Amino acid sequence: SHLHADHCLDLCGYYVLRKYHPRGPQPRIPVWGPATTADRMARAYDLPTDPGMHHEFDFRVWDGPVDVGPFTVTPVPVAHPVPAYGLRVAVGGATLAYTGDTGPTDALDDLARDADLLLAEASFRSVDDNPPDLHLTGADSGGVAKRADVGRLVLTHVPPWHDPEEALAEAVAVFDGPTELARPGAVYEI
């Protein structure tokens, strides 16, 4: 979704697996992201940018819908200090919308419109004086879910220093559809 460390550095560990796997070289895997993804990942692992991780990954820039197997993934630019995208994943009439990190923006309503499931971040609390264009509150996420008429809201990216139940209560106060907190290992059918 974007190049802040908590959203992309796992790719460095995956690079090690791909490069040094005992079965030898593996086919390159496509990785979509902002225009600077390849250079940023090379720098994160302290590699020269050429070749960087290009032998392991086929870096591509988000510039429109992408078909990945049966799924169509549509990136939507969102409000964050660095280039960032929400993602809409559709297959066979079912849709998952993911906000990624973002501040409130009208783009989220289009991203989530009629989605079966909205996976929305809720990093901020409504009681705080939050900087603009950074993160959503539970109430913000609930508002998107309500305006976009989503089937279900799942809140994620609640930092450990905030009470997740508070984020959930904020969302439920705005959106009266099924709402829950994301949890490790959960499976969501849509």
**Same domain membership, residue 112 and residue 25:** no
178 within 8 A of 150, measured Cβ to Cβ: no
**Same domain membership, residue 69 and residue 57:** no
Return the structure tokens found at 75: 């990136």
Quote the pLDDT of residue 150: 99
Quote the pLDDT of residue 6: 92
Quote the pLDDT of residue 5: 94
**Same domain membership, residue 52 and residue 4:** yes
**Same domain membership, residue 51 and residue 139:** no
In order along its 190 residues, the chain shows pLDDT tens digits of 999 999 999 999 999 999 999 998 889 999 999 999 999 999 999 999 999 999 999 999 999 999 999 999 999 999 999 999 999 999 999 999 999 999 999 999 999 999 999 999 999 999 889 999 999 999 999 999 999 999 999 999 999 999 999 999 999 999 999 999 999 999 999 9
- Residue 121 within any structural domain of the chain: yes
Domain residues for 9? 1-61
Amino acid at 8: C
15 within 8 A of 41, measured Cβ to Cβ: yes
**Same domain membership, residue 106 and residue 47:** no
Sign of CA dihedral 39, 45, 46, 48: negative
**Same domain membership, residue 32 and residue 114:** no
Q: Which CB contacts under 8 angstroms, 24+ apart, belong to 20-29? A: 25/55, 26/56, 28/54, 28/55, 28/56, 28/57, 28/58, 29/56, 29/57, 29/58
- Residue 166 within any structural domain of the chain: yes
What gap in Å lies between CA 30 and CA 35, rounded to an integer? Answer: 14
- CATH number of the domain that residue 178 is part of: 3.60.15.10
**Same domain membership, residue 75 and residue 5:** no
Q: How far is CA 11 from the centre of its chain?
A: 14
pTM value is: 0.94
What gap in Å lies between CA 26 and CA 46, rounded to an integer? Answer: 22
* Contacting residues for 134 by C-beta, under 8 A, at least 6 apart: 80, 81, 101, 103, 123, 124
Quote the pLDDT of residue 128: 80
Number of domains present in the structure of the chain: 2
**Same domain membership, residue 21 and residue 48:** yes
| Nearest CA among 75, 91, 114 for reference residue 189 | 91
- Residue 190 within any structural domain of the chain: no
